[in-house]
Amino acid sequence: MQGWLHRSRDHGGLIFVDLRDRYGVTQVVLNPQRAPEAHRVISESRPEFVLEVEGDVAPRPPGTDNPGMPTGAVEVHADVVSVINPCLPVPFGIADEADVDEQLRLRYRYLDLRRTRMASNLALRHRANKYIRDFLDARGFLEIETPILVNSTPEGARDYLVPSRLHHGEFYALPQSPQQFKQLLMVAGTDRYFQIARCFRDEDLRADRQPEFTQLDLEMSFVDEEDVLAVVEELFTSLGEAVGKHTINRRFPRLTFAEAMERYGTDKPDLRFAMPIIDLTDIGRASAFEVFRAAVVEGGVVRCMSAPGSADYSRRQLGELEELAKSWGARGLAWAAFQGDEVRSSFAKNLGEGELRAIRERVDATSGALLLVVAGPADTTASVLGRLRAELGRRLGLIDESRLVFAFVTDFPYFEPDAQTGGVTFVHHPFTRPRDEDVPFIESDPLSVRAKAYDLVCNGYELGSGSIRIHQRAVQEAVFRALGLSVEQTEKRFGHMLRAFEFGAPPHGGIALGLDRVAMLLAGAQNIREVIAFPKNQSALDLMMQAPSAVDQDQLRELGLSLSNDPAD
């Protein structure tokens, strides 16, 4: 047998060694009377030496077996030990799974991946991908690869550009998604397509985002929204049971975008706990409290939520919550703590008679509850209360980490204001089909248009977005005009799509799901770098390969490029 020296224990003559490979750990016993040379070799070996061991497999002595190990009932009595390759002192422990600075882990990622947890994450991801492929194959989907070198089109983030050596001054782009290709495959009659696709976006990073990522891409012809959602629901329900250890809800609730924002303050709500946001705008409109009344007069809202078991929060704790709310954009945070008939409050003295009772009844705040109220613009109020809800869910221990609670969010707005241009931009992407009844308003009243779009969310993360697509040229051209694209710009960027729609394009739709985030949730990890073999850090750097890096002038000349010394150029 061969493997790495995981750990060794010298028991005053006998040496016990754990030999590790991808499949686990096996105990090896070195007896100086039985095999003195093998004993000597082991005594001079360090952790992570690559060893080959020859000997006899035998049951462990009674009472020494280890039921926590797959090989815990047996051990190898070594006769010969050979060092295949020694190992330098490692920069961090492999066997102990201790916390290690992530930058050091990424610099020596090939060592980090030897650790049991990371090796398990890679194996889990493999099982998930295999399950997905088998599931979709059984339902008539074809796995089709699409190009990596494509043209640059607006899809919501910056493109990574690749200069062309053969065509100086022209560039390929790395795909943000295979969006146009999968739609063109539907025009081609493929009917059911999927791909585990590599995608690239040049955007700011965070715990659940990387510059290059993997998504499960699905597209289906002759379907509507419920057909796509049914496939996704069946896939993720069975996937979680097949490869994960979490409890998964059998039916995924549907929330409209408006409902999600009003009740949870986010379009990716964590539904593992309750604590919904409650609207008090009607009470605020007639309130004696000037702060509430003025917010409504200015076109805003008054909303609140009730945190159970938090009425005993100290002034310092309440001050911390208020500072958080202000850092997220709120003007302030009003609060009321209910302990039986006793009330502590920052604003109750400013209310009219019976007003606090009406608020408490609206919220159904029981004894022990802490009421938190924010007044102001609707978007800001939703965002602040949504983030406070997530923070308090963690602080109060309301989140069951063993559960995955999936939901679909639907009926997104199609357009939103574009602060840069003064016009509008798309919320999902410009190939999404508007609701049929909203098509006439694409150009005349774009902000009223709703999209046939939907997201899959889980535990506070967006796992994927999809939509029913546009398949008619006239509708697609109207969307491009609403976005401010000229006829020339439309033809240059999307002429191939518009022409394809005139050759019998079927109605179609699909979804793109982030497999890195899915694997992260299945593995119980805190960020997607824990389930990616060789990720970038939060500055988009590959610390192991030292990428990105400078290239020499000969390469630049061959590509027809030169670099400016002025960063502002």
Using the predicted structure, report yes or no on whether residue 241 has a pLDDT greater than 90.
no
The Cα–Cα gap between 310 and 306 comes to 9
Dump pLDDT digits (tens) for 172-222.
999 999 999 999 999 999 999 999 999 999 988 777 889 999 999 999 999
Which residue do the tokens 């929204």 mark?
Answer: 225
Residue 568 — pLDDT band, cuts 50, 70, 90? low
Q: Is the dihedral of CA 461, 464, 465, 468 positive or negative?
A: negative
pLDDT at 182: 97
pLDDT at 154: 64
Using the predicted structure, report yes or no on whether residue 155 has a pLDDT greater than 70.
no
Dump pLDDT digits (tens) for 248-277.
888 999 999 999 999 999 999 999 999 999
Asked whether 559 and 167 are in contact (CB, 8 A), the reply is: no
Mean pLDDT of 90-111: 94
Dump pLDDT digits (tens) for 294-316.
999 999 999 999 999 999 999 99
Asked whether 307 and 370 are in contact (CB, 8 A), the reply is: yes
Using the predicted structure, report yes or no on whether residue 495 has a pLDDT greater than 90.
yes
Give me the domains of the chain, ranges plus CATH numbers.
2-85 (2.40.50.140), 100-254+452-471+506-569 (3.30.930.10), 273-399 (3.30.1360.30)
**If you count DSSP H runs as helices and E runs as strands, how many of each does the chain have, helices first?**
16, 24
Q: Is the dihedral of CA 183, 189, 191, 197 positive or negative?
A: negative
How large is the greatest C-alpha to C-alpha distance in the chain, in angstroms?
Answer: 92
Strand partners, 29: 16, 77
Selected residue with higher pLDDT from 388 and 563: 388
Using the predicted structure, report yes or no on whether residue 245 has a pLDDT greater than 80.
no
Selected residue with higher pLDDT from 455 and 158: 455
Using the predicted structure, report yes or no on whether residue 540 has a pLDDT greater than 80.
yes
Asked whether 199 and 424 are in contact (CB, 8 A), the reply is: no
Using the predicted structure, report yes or no on whether residue 566 has a pLDDT greater than 80.
no
The Cα–Cα gap between 152 and 159 comes to 7
Strand partners, 512: 217, 465
Residue 78 — pLDDT band, cuts 50, 70, 90? very high
Residue 358 — pLDDT band, cuts 50, 70, 90? very high
Tokens, residue 200: 């690239």
SS3 of 383-396: HHHHHHHHHHHHHC
Asked whether 433 and 475 are in contact (CB, 8 A), the reply is: yes
Residue 388 — pLDDT band, cuts 50, 70, 90? very high
Average pLDDT taken over every residue of the chain? 94
Residue 69 — pLDDT band, cuts 50, 70, 90? confident
Residue 386 — pLDDT band, cuts 50, 70, 90? very high
pLDDT at 453: 97
The Cα–Cα gap between 202 and 215 comes to 16
Mean pLDDT of 117-126: 96
Selected residue with higher pLDDT from 121 and 569: 121
Residue 96 — pLDDT band, cuts 50, 70, 90? confident
Taking only Cα atoms into account, the Rg of the chain, rounded to an integer number of angstroms, comes to 29
Q: Cite the DSSP H helix spans in 30-165.
A: 36-43, 102-107, 109-112, 116-137
Mean pLDDT of 375-400: 96
Using the predicted structure, report yes or no on whether residue 526 has a pLDDT greater than 60.
yes
pLDDT at 500: 97
Pairing of strands 171-173, 453-458: unpaired
pLDDT at 294: 96
Using the predicted structure, report yes or no on whether residue 74 has a pLDDT greater than 80.
yes
pLDDT at 246: 82
How far, rounded to the nearest angstrom, does the alpha carbon of residue 223 sit from its chain's CA centroid? Answer: 27
Sequence-ordered strand ranges (E) for 432-523: 453-458, 461-468, 508-514
pLDDT at 91: 96
Q: Taking the CB of residue 196, how many other CB atoms lie within 10 A of it?
A: 15
Asked whether 210 and 185 are in contact (CB, 8 A), the reply is: no
The Cα–Cα gap between 513 and 249 comes to 18
Residue 567 — pLDDT band, cuts 50, 70, 90? low
Using the predicted structure, report yes or no on whether residue 152 has a pLDDT greater than 80.
yes
pLDDT at 48: 97
Residue 156 — pLDDT band, cuts 50, 70, 90? low
Dump pLDDT digits (tens) for 409-434.
999 999 999 888 889 999 999 999 99
Using the predicted structure, report yes or no on whether residue 565 has a pLDDT greater than 80.
no
The Cα–Cα gap between 272 and 458 comes to 9
The Cα–Cα gap between 530 and 538 comes to 13
DSSP-derived secondary structure letter, 61:
P
pLDDT at 209: 87
